[in-house]
Structure 1
């Protein structure tokens, strides 16, 4: 690691510890030439997760967009924001663990609905009605009947 002060290419590590909940390594270093100390942070470089939209276009995965959709579906429901953030984090982690760089929106939507159904049924139906674009009341009733059948 190059010294921040004098640019010398060699330094020794004095201390190493985890930071940011274990996602980063913080190292305290000392330059072998000027003896000044500096800190470096090491992170795993994640490959971008690409979403294939229904129309075939590609877009970078945006957890904020997903979170805003969930917040709308859960409006006026007794669901803590932390629970929704945990849901989005778990979903993103699962998508990245699949080692696929490209994920269709259909797959993401189904995973969200699967998780949301266990969190709150009303929020699930709200999200499903927008995601599946219910065209009429019959399709809406089918979804509700499926939810009721799953409960029994």
Structure 2
């Protein structure tokens, strides 16, 4: 099994990077759609309906599959011998940030359901939450590249 993991390592790593990019794109954009929904879509029925469709499709068709692909490929990378030195702090920092990112994904899904029911936070709050994935991405990239 370890021979197979070593053999496919670079392919899995490339797939992981692509999956992360797709997931992050959605995590960056969905809260921005929430801002538009609250500040512009609430004033007329049709824009709100269009935003609901966009939010739903982004979450279901792009973000969820990308998150699953990120997790699966990431776990395969972790299982590849010699890739992660668990005595260092960087894999633990990254793992913690990925768990928070996954929580944020769930929070976004909950907010999309709330918006569909006409319940929402302020545009300012959604703007603030829109910074969460950026901060997590910075910590993840620095920890993985610098290996601190």
TM-score bracket, normalised by the shorter chain, equals: under 0.3
Based on CA coordinates, which of the two structures has the bigger radius of gyration?
1
Scaled by the length of structure 1, the TM-score of the pair is 0.24
Q: Name the structure where strand makes up a greater proportion of residues.
A: 1
TM-score, reference length from structure 2: 0.25
